A and B are shown apart, each in its own frame.
Chain A
């Protein structure tokens, strides 16, 4: 595709449910990033992949958050036992190589009730 796509665009979950958010990066992009953007805030780094390797997961807020990119393309961010404080927009970005411009997807807005 022409850009980074994310699905679903909107997700409502009941507290305690597990959710999975998908990111399709631009074809051929080596690097993939996940960010969390709370209302009225700037995006905050969660994790980073280079191809299939997760090189940095220091931003994941708890062990309920898990990300994977098994074949070095599509990535999934999974949140287990969702809490209300997980409500945010989750942004995915990809870049052609390390230290290059990041292209962002439209985000998935997660609301936990």
Chain B
């Protein structure tokens, strides 16, 4: 079955600390992978995407993610978290022979001063 898994339901980090949010996928073929952020009352906003090529992708707001085929992972990272980064983060995958997006259950990020 095709799926995207986010093992961490909730993460708390201090402002200025580094951040890594985990995402694992299970697809037969190389999927298209995405990270979205959802702030309260806001729509989902795309942070970054991986289709092919360089396995380290840069996104908006200082985020990056690395595709690791050997680990079936696509973890999101940020070197220094800002209070405004507090939100819900969703990893999503799209199998490259279809058009369905599969979202993970999300990771809620809290940033403490």
Contacts and interface: CB of A to CB of B under 8 A. Distances in A.
Interface of A: 3-4, 31, 33, 35, 40-45, 48, 55-56, 58-59, 91, 93, 98-99, 101-107
B106 to A, nearest CB: 5
Interface residues of B, number: 24
B113 interface: no
B43 A42 contact: no
A98 B102 CA distance: 16
10 contacts: A35-B103, A42-B92, A48-B99, A56-B98, A58-B100, A99-B96, A102-B101, A103-B46, A104-B36, A105-B43
B36 to A, nearest CB: 8
B104 A56 contact: no
Contacts of B99: 31, 48, 55-56, 98-99
B75 interface: no
A41 B17 CA distance: 27
Contact of B90 (A43, A56, A99): A43
Given A43-B90, A48-B99, 4 more contacts: A40-B106, A42-B106, A99-B99, A102-B101
B94 A41 contact: no
B44 A43 contact: yes
A58 B43 CA distance: 24
B42 interface: yes
Contacts of B49: 101
Nearest to A46: B100
A104 B105 CA distance: 17
Contact of B101 (A3, A33, A55, A107): A33
B28 interface: no
Closest A-B pairs by Cβ, 10 of them: A42-B103, A104-B44, A104-B43, A106-B43, A45-B100, A43-B103, A42-B105, A42-B106, A42-B90, A42-B104
